[in-house]
Chain A
Amino acid sequence: DAGVIQSPRHEVTEMGQEVTLRCKPISGHDYLFWYRQTMMRGLELLIYFNNNVPIDDSGMPEDRFSAKMPNASFSTLKIQPSEPRDSAVYFCASSLAGLAETQYFGPGTRLLVL
């Protein structure tokens, strides 16, 4: 299996622009997680889905952030409008039902908002 696939790997944008991060989970996995990693705050869970349905979005920092999972093989995390403080590495992870705590992480998207 190819593992969790994320795109783009790097994104540089200007403040106020819309940013869309993409994730393809491992085939057959039922859970999908979006994390944000910064030096100051460490690894934070933003939102997670089970069978394409959002289960917990309490980590989404504010209304500028939104996430969707239209089908089992694709999810997006959108930031609109972006701000410099959104600069971070964003990870997507997936896992199987029954072993949901065993999460497989993608390589991440490094976002820089100028």
Chain B
Amino acid sequence: QQQVKQSPQSLIVQKGGISIINCAYENTAFDYFPWYQQFPGKGPALLIAIRPDVSEKKEGRFTISFNKSAKQFSLHIMDSQPGDSATYFCAASNAGGTSYGKLTFGQGTILTVHP
């Protein structure tokens, strides 16, 4: 029940295209859903996050869409650029529980944007 399932494992997109990565969860107690971006040889870095009181959050070219009833959320990267090529992780946590601060990560998606 603590799992977060992420798909696809890898994604190839042309420059200017839209990249879409999906995640699903089971634990209805999760109330914080961040996305992390990781470049080769670096640690993951927070990209954007959402709480379940809104269905969408946009920051520049990055948008999170959240569907509470389906227990799914997704990351959309508009106008994808070669510099966006990285591994993306979705995650979830339960801020109100005894595991405050504990993130459960998805398996990751390797995004390649071709010029």
Residues of A within 8 A of B43 (CB): 4, 91, 93, 105-108
Q: Tell me if B's interface is mostly helix, strand, loop or mixed.
A: loop
Residues of A within 8 A of B102 (CB): 45, 48, 56
Report the count of interface residues on A (CB-CB < 8 A): 22
Q: Is A101 interfacial (CB 8 A cutoff)? A: yes
CB contact between B46 and one of A42, A56, A91, A102 (< 8 Å): that residue = A102
Residues of B within 8 A of A42 (CB): 89, 105-108
Residues of A within 8 A of B45 (CB): 104-105
Q: Is B86 interfacial (CB 8 A cutoff)? A: no
Which of A45, A48, A91, A101 has most B Cβ within 10 Å? A101
Expressed in whole angstroms, the Cα–Cα distance for A106 and B106 within the complex equals 19
29 sampled A-B residue pairs with Cβ under 8 A: A4-B43, A33-B101, A42-B89, A42-B106, A42-B108, A43-B44, A43-B108, A45-B102, A45-B104, A48-B102, A56-B102, A91-B44, A95-B101, A100-B95, A100-B100, A100-B101, A101-B34, A101-B49, A101-B93, A101-B103, A102-B34, A102-B46, A102-B49, A103-B46, A103-B101, A105-B44, A106-B43, A107-B41, A107-B43
